[in-house]
Amino acid sequence: MSLDLQVRAHVYDATMRGGAIPRIADVAAALGVPAEEIRESLGRLATGRVLVLQGDGEILMANPFSAVPTPFIVAAGGRLYYGNCIWDALGIAAMLRCDAVVDTSCGDCGTAARVEVRGGAVRGDGIMHFAIRARDWWKDIVFN
């Protein structure tokens, strides 16, 4: 298996099991690979739109997971995760193949909102609005 595939697999496995995206040093230690090689691998994965990196090279997004707190808090499988948007928050439940509760707020008025995923069905009051077409997300993935 290539290093990039090992890094990708480890990042997602560690995130799903631990609830947080690992840092470069953690990936390097887990795989027994120098941190600079991990940094280069992450760069290639980011170029391939597998991950989104922060300015310092650490992972910002391993979609659907966010490495930083967001307004989309997902409780699933006994852990808390952050989704990058409502679409990703629902994607966390799908990726983990479990029921989930997403606590967020209305993007317009700020009112608290809760969306539940039970048995693969999405339940909740309100409307989910996607202001940007999915095909345009990568034009500026951080701010879309």
User: Which CATH number is 3-62 given?
Assistant: 1.10.10.10
Q: What is the pLDDT of residue 138?
A: 63
Cα distances (angstroms) measured from residue 7 to each of 29, 51, 58, 90: 11, 11, 13, 24
Lookup: tokens for 52: 């989104």
Lookup: tokens for 128: 């989910």
Residues 45, 4 contacting (CB under 8 angstroms): yes
CA distance linking residue 86 with residue 55, whole number of Å: 24
DSSP three-state, residue 144: coil
Residues 72, 83 contacting (CB under 8 angstroms): yes
DSSP three-state, residue 18: helix
Q: What is the pLDDT of residue 141?
A: 66
Strand 100-105: give its sheet, edge to edge: 52-53, 59-62, 65-66, 79-83, 72-76, 100-105, 112-118, 121-123
C-alpha 13: how far from chain center:
12
Q: What is the pLDDT of residue 142?
A: 67
Q: What is the pLDDT of residue 40?
A: 98
Q: What is the pTM of this model?
A: 0.88
DSSP three-state, residue 13: helix
In order along its 144 residues, the chain shows pLDDT tens digits of 799 999 999 999 999 999 999 999 999 999 999 999 999 999 999 999 999 999 999 999 999 999 999 999 999 999 999 999 998 999 999 999 999 999 999 877 889 999 999 999 999 887 777 777 777 776 666 665
